[in-house]
Amino acid sequence: MIDREFIDKCKNIFGHENVLTEKAELIAYSYDATPGIPRETPGVVVFPENTKQIQELIFLARQTKTPIYPRGAGTSLSGGPVPLSKGVVISFQKMNKILEVDPDNLTATVQPGVVVAELNTAVSKFGLLYPPDPGSMATATVGGTVAENAGGLRGLKYGVTKHYIMGMEVVMPTGEVFRFGGKTVKNVTAYDFTHLFVGSEGTLGIVTEIICKLIPAPKYRKAMIAFFDRLEDAGKTVTDIVRNHVIPATLEIMDKVTIQTVENFAKVGLPTDAEALLLIEVDGMGKDSVEWEAEKCVEIIKQNNGKYKIAETDSERDSLWQARRAALPALAQVKPATILEDATVPRTKLVDMLIGVQNIAQKYGLMIGTFGHAGDGNLHPTLLVDPMNSEEMAKVHKAVDEIFETALSLGGTLSGEHGIGVAKLKYLKNEIGRSGIDTMRRIKQALDPDNILNPGKLVPMED
């Protein structure tokens, strides 16, 4: 319960200027970027500046059984930071220091509130790169991306957040401060806690410091765009490229609805009769190997009846990327709102998934534009909707159910990168079964016996 006393104690811990209590301020913490989920206004928002303050807050919350909701930038697409049962929102926006860049051990140590793009700006001075690059990287925090195990455009070649976390400091829901991992490449001491906490969506502990792995930034890159008259050809191009042992950094797809919408909106010169478009970028340290990979891609595109354009200069590269960057903005213009899904299938099932989504769109008379990370089988079917039209919204919910069903039936997963949160909680059992749910509950109860940390997310505590 949050009462005067609780708030006074918060002010003692965090200082007046780091505690928000006015209703108007609190309303601005009732959402994240997820459409169509319930909102709730928190009782108080605090801005920690160090680990000790968080520990003190945990003690206070445990005594009073007050739920705590960690929040990075609030760009989550599954409801993670929404304070469903009021309680305390911890915003990490002021705990945003890059503590160290160690170019010899190839690590960076950061506080959780550091914005991903800013981390990259800092390490680029050493010629290094922190590869996870979610579309939201200009705002999303390292803490939030760790908690969601965020992916990005470079996932195919470079992996996702979990591949770049070497250790952390966590404040446990029981109040202990726990550090694990470190700067060593190898570390098999104890359980692999890094992988337990990455992707835990703020339900198991509060991440207060993160050791990130860096890599040398690739020196050369080559981008191209290819168009296909048949979805099957685009799909085969994707698998053929990988089968030929070329692993592009970026291998993105856009379907016809998306192509037409982008062309309509941005006039970048896309052929509106194409069924699919692939944006491919290869990169590496050697000029020759990058050239070779690019040539190989072109060969495969041609074999699969694709037409292509290859970027010779940086500005040509930018204009190719412009089409991909315009995808979401363009789709967003068509209707008042968009629902962006995240179903993911094995690479070889990409075409089946795309066709499945098109059939669902047709069945319900909805407009769905699909684009996404083809190389990862990670698609973003984007439903264009009018939330004020309740009839349409009823169809939308059914369509979303069927999209998930299709993904699972193709051996895929509910979420490739956006997480479960509240948005996909009801589908969870369909993928991991009874035993999976029970295991999750046991882990949650063992670490957070009072269920105070981000309750109502990721782990269904009741059937």
Partner 1 sequence: MTVSAKTVFDDLETLKKELIRCMKCGNCMSVCPIYNVEKKESSVARGKIALGEAILSENIKIDDETLVKLIFNCLVCKSCMLACPSGVRFDRIILGLRSAIVKKKGIPFVKKALFGLLRNSELFDKGMKAFAAMQGLFLSAEEEKKRKPRGFLRGISSRFDEKFILPELSRESFRDRSKEKEEVSLPQATALFFTGCSVNYLYPEVGDDLIYVLKENNVTIITPKKQNCCGMPVMVHGDIETAREIAKKNIDIFEKTEAQYIVTVCGSCGSALKHEYPIILENTEYEERAKKWAQKVYDISVFLLKVIKFKEPKGKLNLKVTYHDSCHLKKSMKVFNEPRQLLKMIPGLTLVEMKKPDACCGSGGSYHLTYANTSLKIAKEKAEDIKATQANVVCTGCPACMMEIFESLNRFGGNCHVTHTVSLLAKSYKNERAGNV
By CB under 8 A, tell whether 139 contacts partner 1: yes
Residues in the chain: 463
By CB under 8 A, tell whether 289 contacts partner 1: no
Question: Is-contact 428 355, C-beta < 8 A?
Answer: no
Task: Specify which residues 28 forms β-bridges with.
Answer: none
- Judged by CB, which is closer to partner 1: 383, or 459? 383
Residue 3, Cβ neighbours under 10 Å: how many? Answer: 9
> How many residues interact with partner 1 (rule CB under 8 A)?
37
Residue 333 interacts with, from partner 1, ligand FAD, none (CB under 5-8 Å by kind): partner 1
Residue 271, Cβ neighbours under 10 Å: how many? Answer: 12
Positions 39 through 68 that interact with partner 1 (CB under 8 A)? 41, 47
User: C-alpha dihedral over 237, 233, 321, 76, to 10 degrees?
Assistant: -90
Burial of 300 (0-12, 13-18, 19+ CB in 10 A): buried
N- to C-terminal Cα separation, the chain: 25
Residue 207 interacts with, from partner 1, ligand FAD, none (CB under 5-8 Å by kind): ligand FAD
By CB under 6 A, tell whether 339 contacts ligand FAD: no
By CB under 6 A, tell whether 73 contacts ligand FAD: yes
Q: Which stretch binds partner 1 (CB under 8 A): 132-140, 204-212, 363-371, 448-456?
A: 132-140
Residue 16 interacts with, from ligand FAD, partner 1, none (CB under 5-8 Å by kind): none
Angle between helices 51-64 and 4-14 (to 10 degrees): 170
By CB under 6 A, tell whether 236 contacts ligand FAD: no
By CB under 6 A, tell whether 92 contacts ligand FAD: yes
Parallel, antiparallel or unpaired: strands 367-373 and 378-385: antiparallel
Among 50, 244, 303, 333, binds partner 1 (CB under 8 A): 333
DSSP per-residue string spanning 385-398: E-TT-HHHHHHHHH
By CB under 8 A, tell whether 411 contacts partner 1: no
Residue 237, Cβ neighbours under 10 Å: how many? Answer: 26
Question: Is-contact 57 88, C-beta < 8 A?
Answer: yes
By CB under 6 A, tell whether 369 contacts ligand FAD: no
Kindly state the tokens that stand for 381: 């079917």
Residue 23 interacts with, from partner 1, ligand FAD, none (CB under 5-8 Å by kind): partner 1
Calpha distance 264→279 (Å, rounded)? 19
| Binding map of partner 1 across residues 366-405, x = CB under 8 A, - = no contact | ---------------------xx-----------------
By CB under 6 A, tell whether 344 contacts ligand FAD: no
Among 198, 206, 241, 396, binds ligand FAD (CB under 6 A): 206
By CB under 8 A, tell whether 22 contacts partner 1: yes
Phi, psi of 433 (to 5 degrees): 70, 175
CA distance to 55, 71, 100, 171, 282, per residue, from 60 (Å): 9, 19, 31, 14, 51
Calpha distance 48→41 (Å, rounded)? 19
Residue 434, Cβ neighbours under 10 Å: how many? Answer: 9
Residue 378 interacts with, from partner 1, ligand FAD, none (CB under 5-8 Å by kind): none
Calpha distance 125→52 (Å, rounded)? 32
Kindly state the tokens that stand for 393: 């919204």
By CB under 8 A, tell whether 99 contacts partner 1: no
By CB under 6 A, tell whether 80 contacts ligand FAD: yes
By CB under 6 A, tell whether 148 contacts ligand FAD: yes
Q: How far is the CB of 311 from ligand FAD (least distance, A)?
A: 22
By CB under 8 A, tell whether 33 contacts partner 1: yes
Question: Is-contact 342 417, C-beta < 8 A?
Answer: yes
Q: Which of 77, 136, 140, 134 is nearest to 113 (CA)?
A: 140
By CB under 6 A, tell whether 218 contacts ligand FAD: no
Positions 440 through 459 that interact with ligand FAD (CB under 6 A)? 454, 457
- Judged by CB, which is closer to ligand FAD: 10, or 153? 153
List residues binding ligand FAD (CB under 6 A).
Answer: 32-33, 69-77, 80-81, 92, 112, 134-136, 140-141, 143-145, 147-148, 150-152, 201-202, 206-207, 417-418, 454, 457
Q: Which residues bind partner 1 (CB under 8 A)?
A: 20, 22-25, 27-35, 41, 47, 73-75, 91, 93-94, 115, 117, 136, 138-140, 328-329, 332-333, 336-338, 387-388
